[in-house]
Structure 1
Amino acid sequence: MPFHDKTFSPLVFLIVVCIIAGLSPLEAREGAKTFDTDNDTGFYYTIKKGDTLWDLSQKFYNSQWDWPGLWEMNKEIKNPHWIYPGNTIRVYLKPEFKISAPEKPKQMAIETRFNYPAIHSTGFIKKEQVPALGTVLREQEGNIMMTTNDVVYIRPTGQPPFVTGHRYQIYSTSQVDQKIGTSRYKGVKHLLKADLEIIEVNTQYAAGKIKKAYRDVASGDLVMDFYPRQPTFEVDEHPDPVEAVLLCSEDDNVLVNDYRIAFINKGSEDNIRLGNIYTIKRGKETESVYDVKTGLDIAPVTSGKLIVLHTEPASATVMVLSSIQDIHPGDIVN
């Protein structure tokens, strides 16, 4: 073998090893999962310098020993010892990880984002009804219940007129009237049922095709302009305290379980913001917070956590993140 081969082979080998080692982090970064914000609901955390899955498990789940579950949730991480600043990982809010936000001092607030792609199908409460642009008359073939791809006829109000090809939403309303302390909260709940595209307009009626139905549409439902809202926002686990009440759930459930949509009686006028996380507690009127033996009121019992998805001036749409007790309309939110 030539002398120069013996001299330079180890050097070449060392260079190749260094190149491979240097490329590994880059390849890992490029392999980081890009989250589908149109379909993927949950919390996402951007890795910072010095983070490890061990430490993040302690931060989010209050247990360092849960790091394998965090790793399993993020299959793009090939080696749990290699996570890189700038990459985004999924943290929780999946059926297999019903874990509430941890209690941490304010200065330790965790920088997370929440994505809720279904926000445009989520209801809201306003003090007054959104003016209807029209009323659904019937389905083209006479079906009583209407759903995706059905063509529906609409009686327009004429103010403003329908526009062919424009996006609208079908909705229904119900009154909210709940006693809170010595006063009453009154508002109008808007239940969104479907996305609608107008395909024909004439002097007597408009025709529209249901592009996507969230619930069955019925004769008498109303039509409004598309109501754009923000699906992705920063999370604040330690907002300023608020004294609010859980008014009702979107579907008027007696029990408000994990991941259900509900409403509270405070909104942007009360400094309620998107992404705020609050604690739910049982109201003092319930038997669970009254000590029968002593006859004394005791502190409300913590029931769970919720996150704010949308705000109106005097109300907010929320999602229950986790529950450790039964949650009911009338419970305290703070």
Structure 2
Amino acid sequence: MRNSIIAIALSGFIAMQAAADELQLQDNPPDRYVVVKGDTLWDISGKFLKQPWRWPEIWKMNKQEIKNPNLIYPGDLIVLDRSGKYPQLRLLKNGKYGSGGKSVVKLSPQTRIDTKTLAIPAIPTADIEPFISRPLVIEKDGLDSTAVIVATQEDRVLAGTGNIVYAQGMPQEKSDYWQIYRNGNPLIDPDTKEILGYEAVYLGQGKVTAEGDPATLEIVKSSQEVNIGDHLLPASKEVFPSYVPHAPEKTINARVMSTYGESLGETGRNYIITLNKGTEDGLEVGHVLALYRHGANISPFGKKNDKDSTIKLPDERYGLAFIFRTFNHVSYALVIQSTRPVRTLDNAQNP
């Protein structure tokens, strides 16, 4: 009898877990949606799912498809198929019909050559464009062996867009455009106090106007003022990777190390944060993490200043972050949802 009760309880628990893991559709999801210019994969998945990061599940995607997704373009038709036990999204491309006269086809690899039509991105590219190839996470003194600015035209103390600078140590490789960096602060793990790397701060971009040693460069764009002692690296072509929002498979417990916003140590939606976990810790581009604020320790009513009877309030989940760039033990993430400011030392965990 006891074993039967345990079996019933266990089966009930499994059923509850299965229900909790079921995909949750929006209350009134559309039966179909035509992709338009300006859409993102995250926006579209949010039209169908309450948990947009579970997009791969409703597409029935495997690991390889998540890492190398098929591209979706404006004009493609996405259809919500509820004919089976579980809902599934299907794709109609280029007005073609699937086999058997069906009006939808399963997403499958194909090539489209159209210079005027670009595939939709996973998240807004404008928000992450400055961070795709910069800043860099480097070792201590990692810029010391690179070319360095040794003088400015007319002995300016600071230089900006349109000004001329001179650099020594330019390598032999031919590159017209060079990115300008300055040694930044160390990235310190809030938990272990270990230095995970040093951030090379991006200042702008220069174009070589005359070769030599020193070489002459014109600053063609600048986000901060450039000074003598700043370093140069060849400008890399910014390529936006194709990735699908999805939850990590292994447990992630990360902390916010730094923020890029309007105020020191605090930022919000559509801004960038750095986390103290990277590829060596199981994070990869496309992962979605939930943001949590630590619950405060308070004294019970009537027991002020009694350290032995403090109450720990629960941690509060308040947002989501999307991983778009990773290093060994550091990741950059875009805050895509937030009901309160994101602060350093906040937690980032599995959603």
TM-score clears 0.5: yes
The question of whether the paired residues in 1 share the 8 Å contact of 2:132 and 2:325 is answered with no
* 1:230 CA displacement: 4.1
- Residues 139-172 of structure 1: per-residue CA shift (max 9 Å, x gap): 3244433233332111x236xx254543321011
* 1:244 CA displacement: 1.0
SS in 2 for 1:220: coil
- Number of residue pairs matched by the alignment: 246
Aligned-partner residue type, residue 151 of structure 1: I
Q: TM-score, normalised by structure 2?
A: 0.58
* 1:301 CA displacement: 1.3
Counterpart position of 1:281: 292
The structure-2 alpha-carbon separation of the partners of 1:254 and 1:46, relative to structure 1 and needing over 3 Å to count, comes to: closer
User: For 2:160 and 2:276, how far apart are their aligned partners in 1?
Assistant: 32
Gaps of 5+ in 2: 1-32, 53-73, 80-90, 95-119, 301-308
The structure-2 alpha-carbon separation of the partners of 1:250 and 1:201, relative to structure 1 and needing over 3 Å to count, comes to: farther
Counterpart position of 2:258: 248
Single out whichever of 271-280 and 126-135 deviates more from structure 2.
Answer: 126-135
Aligned counterpart for 1:231 among listed residues 237, 240, 247 = 240
- Residues 267-318 of structure 1: per-residue CA shift (max 9 Å, x gap): 11112111211111124xxxx4334326232432113211112111111112
Aligned-partner residue type, residue 344 of structure 2: P
- Residues 72-103 of structure 1: per-residue CA shift (max 9 Å, x gap): xxxx88xxx9xx8348xxxxxxxxxxxxxxxx
- Residues 104-127 of structure 1: per-residue CA shift (max 9 Å, x gap): xxxxxxx97233433346424334
Aligned counterpart for 1:306 among listed residues 312, 315, 321 = 321
User: For 1:46 and 1:295, how far apart are their aligned partners in 2?
Assistant: 43
1:136 aligns with 2:175: no
SS in 1 for 2:41: strand
SS in 2 for 1:113: coil
Aligned-partner residue type, residue 321 of structure 1: I
Aligned counterpart for 1:151 among listed residues 161, 164, 170 = 164
1:292 aligns with 2:302: no
User: For 2:139 and 2:161, how far apart are their aligned partners in 1?
Assistant: 30
1:202 aligns with 2:197: no
The question of whether the paired residues in 2 share the 8 Å contact of 1:245 and 1:333 is answered with yes
The question of whether the paired residues in 2 share the 8 Å contact of 1:163 and 1:201 is answered with no
Deviating beyond 6 angstroms after TM superposition, the runs of 4 or more aligned structure 1 residues are none
Counterpart position of 1:181: 191
SS in 1 for 2:47: helix
User: For 1:174 and 1:325, how far apart are their aligned partners in 2?
Assistant: 28
* 1:197 CA displacement: 2.4
Aligned-partner residue type, residue 242 of structure 1: I
Aligned-partner residue type, residue 249 of structure 1: T
SS in 1 for 2:188: strand
Alignment of 1:41-56 (within 5 A): 43-44=40-41
Q: TM-score, normalised by structure 1?
A: 0.61
Aligned-partner residue type, residue 215 of structure 1: Q
Identical columns (%): 15
SS in 2 for 1:234: coil
The question of whether the paired residues in 1 share the 8 Å contact of 2:164 and 2:218 is answered with yes
The structure-2 alpha-carbon separation of the partners of 1:136 and 1:174, relative to structure 1 and needing over 3 Å to count, comes to: same
Counterpart position of 2:227: 218
User: For 1:46 and 1:319, how far apart are their aligned partners in 2?
Assistant: 14
SS in 2 for 1:57: helix
Counterpart position of 1:117: 129
The structure-2 alpha-carbon separation of the partners of 1:249 and 1:138, relative to structure 1 and needing over 3 Å to count, comes to: farther
The question of whether the paired residues in 2 share the 8 Å contact of 1:256 and 1:326 is answered with yes
SS in 2 for 1:319: strand
SS in 1 for 2:131: helix
The structure-2 alpha-carbon separation of the partners of 1:181 and 1:316, relative to structure 1 and needing over 3 Å to count, comes to: closer
1:270 aligns with 2:281: yes
RMSD over equivalenced CA pairs, Å: 3.7
The question of whether the paired residues in 1 share the 8 Å contact of 2:42 and 2:245 is answered with no
Counterpart position of 1:102: none
SS in 2 for 1:309: strand
User: For 2:237 and 2:190, how far apart are their aligned partners in 1?
Assistant: 31
Alignment of 1:9-20 (within 5 A): none
Aligned-partner residue type, residue 165 of structure 2: V
Counterpart position of 1:315: 330
Gaps of 5+ in 1: 1-27, 36-41, 48-54, 63-75, 88-110
* 1:321 CA displacement: 1.7
SS in 2 for 1:118: helix
User: For 1:191 and 1:44, how far apart are their aligned partners in 2?
Assistant: 30
User: For 1:184 and 1:56, how far apart are their aligned partners in 2?
Assistant: 38
SS in 2 for 1:153: strand
User: For 2:131 and 2:196, how far apart are their aligned partners in 1?
Assistant: 23
* 1:208 CA displacement: 1.4
